[in-house]
Structure 1
Amino acid sequence: MVTEDQKRYCLLMAARDSEYVKKVYGGYVNVFLKAFAEGEQWDLFRVVDGEFPDMDELHKYHGFVISGSPYDAYGNEMWILKLCFLLQTLDAMEKKVLGICFGHQVLCRALGGKVGKAHCGWDLGLRKIRIVEDLPLCSLFGVLEEIPPSLTIIECHQDEVWEVPLGAEVIAFSEQTGVEMFVIGDHILGIQGHPEYTKDILSNIIDRLALNDSVDKEFAENAKSRLEINGEPDRNSLEKICKNFLKEEGSGIISPPHWPTTHK
């Protein structure tokens, strides 16, 4: 039961559970809850399977998180188009929205930016992302003593943001990817990497990518070798950034429109 003063969050799942994650973690939802939840109410909607929150219920949520996905954020599957409409609505309502990997890219697309295949190809493993210099101390980093010059995050993507939406600010980049993090106002945050992933989850994904020939087996072996020797991601700092962003008080509520009628 949700009390009136209990914050409520919405997880928009854009990927199906792998057998490994189901066995070890009980599903991706538990991976996200372990990383971001602190006793609030979290509702799961598997948007990849066409499950969406009711438009009349959106005002009840304090924030939304969009997961990663094996699908292309620039694809035209019906659920992706419907997700784009939802994100446009949440932006108009100035609701907190955190997009991770695919979520980061589809946020960009929905709000007028451009996404596509990564110019440098697959990025699998640990990646050092650099925080933009002279970034003013803001609520996003308020939980940290100071803004770090760089953070190490787990990456697993072959697509990227080419151009951020009008009004967006790029706040982190890497040698491989020009837009690692972006913000719009105080209510939109996109992160290309995976602050919620553990190294064993990525290792299993690499194995599956090699098995279905999505990546060359030698490339996969090299990625796993680097994963073993490159230390650990800065999960504590990254999770704090995400939680601080989601749990800061947001803006007022605007009544949302209804879903558009779609025709095949």
Structure 2
Amino acid sequence: MKIDDDVVDQKRKYALLLAARDSDYVRMKYGGYFNVFVGVFGSEGEVWDLFRVVDGEFPEDEELNKYDGFIVSGSPYDAYGDDIWILRLCLLLRTLDFMKKKVIGVCFGHQVLCRALGGHVGKALGGWEVGIKQVTFVDDFLQYCPFMQDFHHIPHHASIIECHQDEVWEPPIDAKVIAYSEKTAVEAFCIDDHILGIQGHPEYTKDILDNLIGRLVDNNSIDMDFAEEARKKMELVEPDRKFWEEMCRNFLKGRKERHSLLLC
């Protein structure tokens, strides 16, 4: 049955800018990263489109106004690289910032947002960060993130899955750092109410991370001892996926729901 175009136009519409190719594991278990993201951030009645920017697939300029928000995924590529698609992505992100479109950047997406908007990104000074890490929110979190005002309590800390060897060295001049950790000075930043960068992976599950660790060993990015230590620590803790999911949903969709998150 054909859906009337007017009905589609009335629905909220979002786009995933996918900067990585689907792994065999994620394709087999989840049907691809697109399904992972939509499963976490999507809601019934919305329209989600996929643009594989890593393969040069981008939305047309005249399409941008149709979208309520965008998510930029993680990637094995360096956000400071000069691949044509990365430079094109930077241009798109500057356009979306000018349009005040809501954009969430995850891991590579966080870093490339920083680069596109005038910040600096490079290799992490502390080396690889792999596992479930605790991040700390700044005291002025609510001042910088008014979209979180409807939460009854904001936790001082929240755990998130991380897997990266690059980091934000210096955020854009108009950005506010909203979270940090022991090894990473910029775990999250925002610009006004339309840009949100998160170094970790709110969309990842522990099984996705476990598979990724195995692939990093196979391609000699990390050694077996490092991998086994990361896996051992991963068994002892759980990421605060519910918090990150609701934070991203609140930012992306401007929801006014009430929440009850206890202080950590």
User: Taking structure 2 as the reference length, what is the TM-score of the superposition?
Assistant: 0.92
Q: Map 1:179-218 onto structure 2 (within 5 A).
A: 179-218=186-225
* Residues in 1 aligned to 2:235 and 2:191: alpha-carbon distance in whole angstroms: 35
Supply the distance in 1 between the matched residues of 2:247 and 2:142 (Cα, whole angstroms): 15
Provide the aligned length of Structure 1 versus Structure 2.
Answer: 248
Map of 2:121 onto structure 1 = 115
Please point out which of 226, 235, 245 is paired with 1:228. 235
Shift of 1:135: 2.7
How far off is 1:166 after superposition?
Answer: 1.1
SS for the counterpart of 1:85 is helix
Contact 1:7 1:62 in 2 (8 A): yes
Stretches of structure 1 that go unaligned for 5 or more consecutive residues are 250-264
Which residue of 177, 180, 190 maps to 2:184?
Answer: 177
Offset of 1:143 from its aligned partner?
Answer: 4.5
SS of match in other structure, 1:65: strand
Q: Using the alignment, how far apart are the partners of 2:30 and 2:142 within structure 1?
A: 37
Runs of 5+ consecutive residues of structure 2 not aligned to the other structure: 256-264
Q: 1:62 aligns with which of 63, 68, 86?
A: 68
Aligned mates of 1:38, 1:32 — CA distance in 2: 11
Residue of structure 1 aligned with 2:141, choices 135, 138, 144: 135
Partner Cα distance (1:144, 1:135) in 2? 12
For the aligned residues, what is the CA RMSD?
Answer: 1.1
Which among 139, 154, 163 is matched to residue 156 of structure 1? 163
After superposition, the C-alpha distances for 1:192-241 in whole angstroms (9 at most, x for unaligned) are 00000000000000000001101111111111111112x21000010000
Deviations, residues 21-75 of structure 1 (Å, cap 9, x unaligned): 0111110011001110002100000000000001111000000000000000000
Residue 25 (structure 2) aligns with = 20
The whole-number CA distance in structure 2 between the counterparts of 1:127 and 1:136 is 22
Match of 1:43 among 27, 49, 56: 49
The alpha-carbon deviation at position 146 of structure 1 amounts to: 1.5
Question: Could you say what secondary structure the match of 2:235 adopts?
Answer: helix
Q: Matched residues in 1 for 2:120 and 2:139: separation?
A: 24
Relative to structure 1, the CA distance from residue 99 to residue 197 in structure 2 (aligned partners, 3 Å threshold; closer, same or farther) is same
Give the aligned partner of residue 254 of structure 2. Answer: 248
Counterparts of 2:242 and 2:150 in 1: how far apart (Å)? 11
Q: Percent identity?
A: 60
For the 8 Å contact 1:144–1:237, the answer to whether it is kept is no
Contact (CA 8 Å) 1:143, 1:240: kept in 2 or not? no
The correspondence for 1:239, drawn from 245, 250, 259, is 245
In structure 2, what is the equivalent of residue 53 of structure 1? 59
CA 1:143–1:124 in 2, change beyond 3 Å: closer, same or farther?
A: farther
Cα deviation, 1:113-150, whole Å, max 9, x if unaligned, reads 00000000000000000000143354332352222101
| Rounded Cα–Cα distance in structure 2 between residues aligned with 1:79 and 1:125 | 29
